[in-house]
Amino acid sequence: MRTEPIGSIPRPLSLIETIAEFESGTKSRVQLDEAYASALGDTIRRLEQTGSPVLTDGEQTKPSFATYPLSRLGNLAADGVVIPFADGHTRQLPRLTAGPFRYAVHAAEFIRAARSYTQRPLKQAVIAASALSLIYPSQEIPNYPREAFLSDLIDEAEADIRGALKAGADSVQIDFTEARLSLKLDPSGGLLRSFIALNNQVLDRFTPAERQRIGVHVCPGGDRDSTHSADIDYAGLLPDLFQMKAGRFYLQMSSEPDRARVLRILQELVAPNHLIFLGVIDPINPAIETATQVKDRVLEAASFIPLDQLGTTDDCGFAPFADDTSTARDVAFAKIRARVEGTALAARELGL
């Protein structure tokens, strides 16, 4: 049975400190790059030790899952859209100040860096075009209308995915965490459907065979042990989400209060060409799941999802923002090991 991580792993404290020192001017770029390389190598090694058949770079060199394409751009201001979390803290996107829009960093470079440490399959997470659409301000930028921005954004999002596949990614996962949040901002679903339409303009540029290697991940957010949209019912999200022209769906599930209800909804939506990766690990819960707990969650899901289409994953990344230390690095790897071992237990019990 397939099992894959979502993406981010908590950065070593030494790396977080080095990033802060680089930003304050007390560490050099060379020292920062050395810290990045050390964290990346250690992450790959420890993921291999969990037995994970598919690896990621743990997002060790990304400032966040959402803003990595923007980290070197000069046409941004800091006062963009604010994302509120349930515990009261916020994250803020930058605001585009001028055109044209281009990615300063593409995901292919993360794949190439990780490949030097392992021969196992590597997946790569990329940010959804819909998330980056939020950096365009409400007041139109002179000489750069929103339509021109969206055209550039679609081109760049396509290049990000295509470049990662060309660089050797086994699969590419589009992080679409704003999907659930959009229903909080607009309960009518209009904003969600506009996001899906934009993302589908990117996916339309890929062949059906290529889309089988492209997935979409949704969750209620996860940062500093808090979420931004866990109170939004999956029933309002899933029917529209499955209009996405992706071959893989990575769905937060372990922290759902009524998993059986959500699984019954899924059962009606899953098409024969879909691969469904269900979260069996809760990164926000500090308790480390046992392999038996994971096995039981898989067996529950197997009553609703065809076995040849079912896989397991984590509900969310463990540290989508680089400075998040709410989950210990050792805890994250222990949880991943439990997912791998519990999935194997379930597969044996199911006769796979």
Q: What is the CATH number of the domain that holds 166?
A: 3.20.20.210
Range of the domain at 330: 2-349
Q: How many residues does the chain have?
A: 352
38 pLDDT more than 90: yes
Distance CA 285, CA 276 (A): 23
The amino acid occupying position 290 is T
42-54: pLDDT as tens digits: 999 999 999 999 9
Quickly list H helices, the chain: 13-24, 29-49, 108-115, 129-132, 146-166, 178-185, 190-203, 208-211, 238-241, 259-269, 291-302, 329-349
8 Å CB contact between 170 and 164: no
The DSSP 8-state label assigned to residue 236 in this structure reads G
8 Å CB contact between 147 and 188: no
The DSSP 8-state label assigned to residue 55 in this structure reads B
For residue 197, report the phi and psi dihedrals to the nearest 5 degrees: -60, -40
Q: Residue 72: what pLDDT?
A: 82
184-227: pLDDT as tens digits: 999 999 999 999 999 999 999 999 999 999 999 999 999 999 99
- Count of alpha carbons within 13 Å of 27, Cβ hemisphere only? 18
Distance CA 78, CA 85 (A): 19
The DSSP 8-state label assigned to residue 83 in this structure reads E
Q: What is the pLDDT confidence band of residue 255, given thresholds at 50, 70 and 90? A: very high
> How many domains does the structure of the chain reveal?
1
Q: Residue 237: what pLDDT?
A: 97
Instruction: Give Cα separations from 122 to 57, 119, 165, 247 (angstroms).
Output: 8, 8, 10, 17
Instruction: Say what the pTM is.
Output: 0.96
263-287: pLDDT as tens digits: 999 999 999 999 999 999 999 999 9
Distance CA 62, CA 303 (A): 38
The DSSP 8-state label assigned to residue 223 in this structure reads B
8 Å CB contact between 207 and 235: no
Q: Residue 13: what pLDDT?
A: 95
SS3 of residue 57 by DSSP: coil
List beta partners, residue 338: none
8 Å CB contact between 344 and 38: no
Q: Residue 71: what pLDDT?
A: 83
8 Å CB contact between 164 and 171: no
Q: Residue 199: what pLDDT?
A: 98
For residue 226, report the phi and psi dihedrals to the nearest 5 degrees: -135, 160
